[in-house]
Structure 1
Amino acid sequence: MAFDGITVAALAQEFKNKFTDGRLYKIAQTENDELTLTIKNGKAQYKLLISANASLPLTYITEESKPSPMTAPNFCMLLRKHINNGRIINITQPGLERILDFEIQHLDDLGDIRQKHLIVELMGKHSNIIFCDENNMILDSIKHVSAVMSSVRQVLPGKDYFIPDTMDKFDPLSVSKEEFFNTVFSKPINLSKAIYTSFTGISPTIAESICYAAKFDSSIPANVLEHGNQNLIWIQFYELMNKIKKGEFTPVIYEKDDLPVDFSAVRLSTHSDCNEIIYDDMSSLLRNYYAKKNLHTRMRQKSSDLRRVVTNALEKDRKKFAIQEKQMKDTLKKDKYKVYGELLTTYGYSIEPGAKKFDTINFYTNEPISIPLDPTISPIENAKKFFDKYAKLKRTNEALSDIIIETKKSIDYLETVSASIDIATSENDLKAIKDELIQTGYIKFKRTGKKEKIVNKPLHFISSDGFHMYVGKNNIQNENLTFKVANGNDWWFHSKTFPGSHVIVKCEGKELPDATFEEAARLAAHFSKGCNQDKVEIDYIQRKQVKKVAGAMPGFVIYHTNYSMAITPDITGIQEII
């Protein structure tokens, strides 16, 4: 979700509560389009990140310290000259615009009290940080906008500052019911679009939520809604704006499958299928949201090389397996050629020279059979030709029998590695998988000095009945869990049909309750390639029944007697021990 006007309103309230009467202790320009302000207010000290990045404009209180350049840029030097040690006397948001105005009081060179404005515009590619005097004249900005770049508004020193044209949009905080009706319900466009194009600061997500809360399809044209239904939309809109005016914000992140999907300063009615995580303020929400987003992005980038290695090897093996299966299918004809040879050896004396086929009775089945012949050679030479073909196909069949098994084992193994990459949550997880691929020969080992020791532990959960459950995150860890961590009477769980993790439940000599069996099975289903299925069949058995095959790939085991259950891969409510 972009920084809409409601998110900015929540931040304005938070900043006003924390920064009013605070002093600007430090000013740093950590990036070309980013400032970090250190603000002291009483005993509290805050770091405020302000980014005018075109793709990700944002501002929030951060705990991270970023290094500053050796030589401060001109804009940073100007701010330090004028407002370093200045006192923040007010923070405002005009209407519901995506704009924050920091009003700062300071002493000039003569010791007189002056006021300046640091204006933060969080408007996508038009985002900027603009420094103005008390008369709203621009002193400088972090991005200069010339007449060549924009004919509507120049952002240059000496120019007057004004809020950009909002295309005749209304301020949603002050709009009347009559204006709302006349504006929204006169548009022949879908309902949600009619709402967010009519008012400043309203995002498409908020508009969708208003429609959903009023129980209307957001895609219906706004101008076909009947008056009674129009009133239901107005009620939802009015209640939301009333909450904003009162400062009743509920910062919330919506997550699905442990990944952040959306965030908002108010509850949304459109994410009923997501987990809702409430925060005390917008800054802590944004810190967590972008930390998780960045972790997910970084993990995806760092895992891309491993995925490419595994995907390429899988494609190669699958093509090889398809060819081998076709060749194996062809070898099944070998017995036919042996019969041809034997029949020609037995009855060849009766065949006339130059015959193109020989019709006889197959003495194995007592059924008629027609044998194709090469008319340029004798029947005995035809028989030898068929025997040679039989011998070749027999040799191919014997060789392929072992090769196909090895190729299938390789495919199965690579699919388990792919599943391990899917559940990796840290860089150490990926390093462990890379080490495994080096050990198994899929990645060439390159000596780069002293080998780094990787600290990589299995996932650890505790059941509702208090039993400890462990989940392997790669094949070597799976093997270690099964044969070193688990005792003979502990229980072992694994997906029956999908590659996935080994799950071990430590019994400590006790009998497992049904609830623990189900929770362990849910873990095995969730940490498998079948995690998106409605239900996954899980095999479970005592560890002493699980055997490792000598010379097999890491994590490969066999078992002969087991129990099975079909279970949902949802692990909501299972407590993880960090």
Structure 2
Amino acid sequence: MAFDGIAIANLVYELKEKLPNARIYKIAQPESDELILTLKSSLGQHRLLISASASLPLIYLTENNKPSPMTAPNFCMLLRKHLSNGRITSITQPGLERIINFEIEHLNELGDLCKKYLIVEIMGKHSNIIFCDDNNNIIDSIKHVSAHMSSVREVLPGRDYFIPQTQDKFNPLETSWESFKPAIGSKPVSLAKALYTSYTGISPAAAEEICYRASLDSSTPANVLGENELLHLYHIFSNLIEDIKNNRFQPTIVYKDEEPIEFSSIELTHFEGMQLRSYSSISQVLETFYATKNTLTRIRQKSYDLRHVVQLALERSIKKYDLQLKQLKDTQKRDKYKVYGELLNTYGYNLEEGAKELEALNYYTNEMIKIPLDETLSAKENAKKYFDKYNKLKRTFEALSSLTQETKDEINHLESISTALDIALTEDDLVQLKEELMDYGYMKRKGSNKKQQKIKSKPFHYLSSDGYHIYVGKNNFQNEELTFKFATGNDWWFHAKGIPGSHVILKANGEEIPDKTFEEAGRLAAYYSKGRGTDKIEIDYVEKKHIKKPSGAKPGFVVYYTNYSLLIDSNITGIEQISD
């Protein structure tokens, strides 16, 4: 992820803005490698979360708190002893390193004013929180690093603190054309890799963005670029660095199908076909990004059992449907047996005994046909035999026609649940889907209560660019509720044609709807369907008053006989979502 030097620079700028002369009010250590500082400044109270987790190092402002252990760890007690009620006098970042230095003034036990430094290093598995005195001596750290663990630098009480120079990288804030040209132009690696391996604080995502803005292929070997191309790249790079120096940041998250893919403090325009969402602060970006990531991971784990149930039921139903279609195909010859019987009754009076076939004129087609016979039976008995076959196949056809439709409806129902699982974003969304699976016998209900959990899940709510409200069902129960209880007669109903998907309701308010709003509602219907991601999807739309529900149909199943259609993509970028 792009928690690079640019994001750190954005965070330092934000902390300076929001924490002027802040005092340290509380210090907590909820995890072995995590701190929460409660800070008070003239702008109010803030919480700063700092995590040195090897898998997920973080630092951002948050309104949320976390429970702490009853007995504070030693590092937390040490910080409380030295820094409680201390004042943060400066927050700095060396170069574009992934490091934040907090300079803190406090009174020692004798009442003298002292300075200490809390240094936060966000460096992947090497992340740490280090507490130093004003002579750069390490007092302690949240993670101790001995010589056995690292040959580069020891992080232990009493050792000198320094930034390890593990790679030959330049400071991008001090770059020039004279240093840029040999640094990039001499490397036989891809252009993007040359950028992020030559300069501190530049992530692969930022390097890709720089190449994209320069209209250069990021996979091109850097050492094959001409001087003009390198000079153009340098100007793009310099413009970005100038934005950083002047604190012109654009905190952004890149989404693909509601899943956060990447974040940055610069606009990532090279992610084509994905949604870019801007935020007011980098702290908001970090908290939103990782909270959403964690939620989606948890939802996928919890939905695994439901997906397994749906998949097994689907496989059984599809096998049953294929067998029924094959049996149904076998009944297509029933009418031939009926004709054989009728022709035998018509022409069989002069049939010779022991004949193996009868050649006769088929008066339905005016063609001669040959009818196979059982030579041991008479013409009348052969006719009866064919009529019996016809009647048996006719009964089979009638029974199978009904059963096949039932099986097809069951497949459609299960596919709609599978599609709903794909768009489930919260545990509350899964509750309704589990309820539906239990209602229809795909899962056993535990306990005696029919409704064991209160359902809190609500439909998606969007606002069109023209100010019209659009609602999207997350599952069949919500589709049913939206279409038949929430929507009124002149509201518009949208659905992807012939494939599982959400019911989309456009509230008309008795007004004539602009074409752009129709298109946006159509895009939502395409996006929340099984066809999401395809170039064009056909969408049916009709006024709600023309939608009917067949008697006994499963939830979400409707019929309509008059409708409009549109072909549209499933890109919903720019359609405002409202959090109800």
State the TM-score, normalized to the length of structure 1.
Answer: 0.87
Amino acid at match of 1:207: A
Q: Does 1:174 align with 2:203?
A: no
Q: Does 1:204 align with 2:204?
A: yes
Match of 1:290 in 2: 290
Match of 2:264 in 1: 264
Q: How does 1:298-447 map to 2 (within 5 A)?
A: 298-333=298-333, 349-351=353-355, 358=356, 361=359, 364=362, 366-367=367-368, 369=370, 393=393, 395-447=395-447
Cα deviation for residue 63 of structure 1 reads: 0.8
- Matches of 1:363 and 1:2, distance apart in 2: 82
- Matches of 1:486 and 1:269, distance apart in 2: 38
Closer, same or farther: CA 488–284 of 1 in aligned 2, 3 Å: closer
Match of 2:74 in 1: 74
Q: Does 1:556 align with 2:560?
A: no
- Matches of 1:10 and 1:246, distance apart in 2: 10
What is the SS of the residue equivalent to 1:412?
A: helix
What is the SS of the residue equivalent to 2:64?
A: coil
CA contact (8 A) 2:152 2:166 kept: no
Match of 2:250 in 1: 250
Amino acid at match of 1:495: A
- Matches of 2:176 and 2:462, distance apart in 1: 54
Q: How does 1:474-485 map to 2 (within 5 A)?
A: 474-485=475-486
What is the SS of the residue equivalent to 1:12?
A: helix
- Matches of 2:134 and 2:469, distance apart in 1: 64
Using the TM superposition, name which of 383-392 and 482-491 deviates more: 383-392
Closer, same or farther: CA 283–515 of 1 in aligned 2, 3 Å: closer
> What is the CA deviation profile of residues 405-439 of structure 1, one whole-angstrom value per residue up to 9, with x for unaligned ones?
11001011122222333333443332222222222
What is the SS of the residue equivalent to 1:45?
A: strand
CA contact (8 A) 1:482 1:543 kept: yes
CA contact (8 A) 1:440 1:553 kept: no
Cα deviation for residue 470 of structure 1 reads: 3.9
Q: How does 1:557-576 map to 2 (within 5 A)?
A: 557-572=558-573, 574=575
Closer, same or farther: CA 489–32 of 1 in aligned 2, 3 Å: same
Cα deviation for residue 553 of structure 1 reads: 1.0
Closer, same or farther: CA 60–576 of 1 in aligned 2, 3 Å: closer
CA contact (8 A) 1:331 1:396 kept: yes
Closer, same or farther: CA 43–335 of 1 in aligned 2, 3 Å: closer
Q: How many residue pairs align between the two structures? A: 569
Match of 1:107 in 2: 107
Using the TM superposition, name which of 101-110 and 208-217 deviates more: 101-110
Identity %: 57
- Matches of 1:8 and 1:508, distance apart in 2: 48
CA contact (8 A) 1:20 1:91 kept: no
Cα deviation for residue 222 of structure 1 reads: 0.9
Using the TM superposition, name which of 177-186 and 477-486 deviates more: 477-486
Closer, same or farther: CA 369–75 of 1 in aligned 2, 3 Å: farther
Amino acid at match of 2:526: A
CA contact (8 A) 1:348 1:380 kept: no
Cα deviation for residue 257 of structure 1 reads: 4.3
What is the SS of the residue equivalent to 2:303?
A: helix
What is the SS of the residue equivalent to 2:174?
A: coil
What is the SS of the residue equivalent to 2:8?
A: helix
Closer, same or farther: CA 139–348 of 1 in aligned 2, 3 Å: farther
Match of 2:499 in 1: 498
Amino acid at match of 1:183: A
Q: CA RMSD in A?
A: 3.3
- Matches of 1:508 and 1:198, distance apart in 2: 59
- Matches of 2:338 and 2:62, distance apart in 1: 80
Closer, same or farther: CA 251–504 of 1 in aligned 2, 3 Å: closer
CA contact (8 A) 1:344 1:379 kept: no
Closer, same or farther: CA 244–513 of 1 in aligned 2, 3 Å: closer
CA contact (8 A) 1:496 1:538 kept: yes
What is the SS of the residue equivalent to 2:79?
A: helix
CA contact (8 A) 1:166 1:200 kept: no
> What is the CA deviation profile of residues 238-268 of structure 1, one whole-angstrom value per residue up to 9, with x for unaligned ones?
2222332333333233344444332222233
Amino acid at match of 1:290: Y
- Matches of 2:507 and 2:188, distance apart in 1: 64
Closer, same or farther: CA 213–420 of 1 in aligned 2, 3 Å: same
Cα deviation for residue 163 of structure 1 reads: 1.8
What is the SS of the residue equivalent to 2:353?
A: helix
> What is the CA deviation profile of residues 113-161 of structure 1, one whole-angstrom value per residue up to 9, with x for unaligned ones?
3332222111111111122233333332222223333233332333332
What is the SS of the residue equivalent to 1:101?
A: strand
Q: Does 1:533 align with 2:531?
A: no
What is the SS of the residue equivalent to 2:45?
A: strand
Match of 1:355 in 2: none
Q: Does 1:543 align with 2:560?
A: no
For structure 2, the residue ranges without an aligned partner over 5 or more in a row are: none
Amino acid at match of 1:545: H
Closer, same or farther: CA 329–262 of 1 in aligned 2, 3 Å: same
- Matches of 1:310 and 1:164, distance apart in 2: 53
CA contact (8 A) 1:348 1:379 kept: no
Match of 1:231 in 2: 231
Closer, same or farther: CA 509–187 of 1 in aligned 2, 3 Å: closer
CA contact (8 A) 1:344 1:380 kept: no
Using the TM superposition, name which of 210-219 and 63-72 deviates more: 210-219
Cα deviation for residue 223 of structure 1 reads: 1.0
Closer, same or farther: CA 464–81 of 1 in aligned 2, 3 Å: closer
Cα deviation for residue 551 of structure 1 reads: 1.6
What is the SS of the residue equivalent to 2:198?
A: coil
What is the SS of the residue equivalent to 2:102?
A: strand
Amino acid at match of 2:56: L
> What is the CA deviation profile of residues 308-342 of structure 1, one whole-angstrom value per residue up to 9, with x for unaligned ones?
32222222211221222223223435566778899
Amino acid at match of 1:350: G
Amino acid at match of 1:565: L
What is the SS of the residue equivalent to 2:248?
A: coil
Closer, same or farther: CA 192–521 of 1 in aligned 2, 3 Å: closer
CA contact (8 A) 1:52 1:58 kept: yes
Using the TM superposition, name which of 400-409 and 310-319 deviates more: 310-319
Amino acid at match of 2:286: L
Match of 1:144 in 2: 144
CA contact (8 A) 2:19 2:43 kept: no
- Matches of 2:202 and 2:512, distance apart in 1: 57
Match of 1:354 in 2: none
- Matches of 1:428 and 1:325, distance apart in 2: 38
CA contact (8 A) 2:495 2:502 kept: yes
Closer, same or farther: CA 509–198 of 1 in aligned 2, 3 Å: closer
Closer, same or farther: CA 442–278 of 1 in aligned 2, 3 Å: same
Q: How does 1:515-526 map to 2 (within 5 A)?
A: 517-526=518-527
- Matches of 2:166 and 2:172, distance apart in 1: 13
Closer, same or farther: CA 524–181 of 1 in aligned 2, 3 Å: closer
Match of 1:65 in 2: 65
Cα deviation for residue 404 of structure 1 reads: 0.9
Closer, same or farther: CA 562–107 of 1 in aligned 2, 3 Å: closer
For structure 1, the residue ranges without an aligned partner over 5 or more in a row are: 352-357
Amino acid at match of 2:97: E
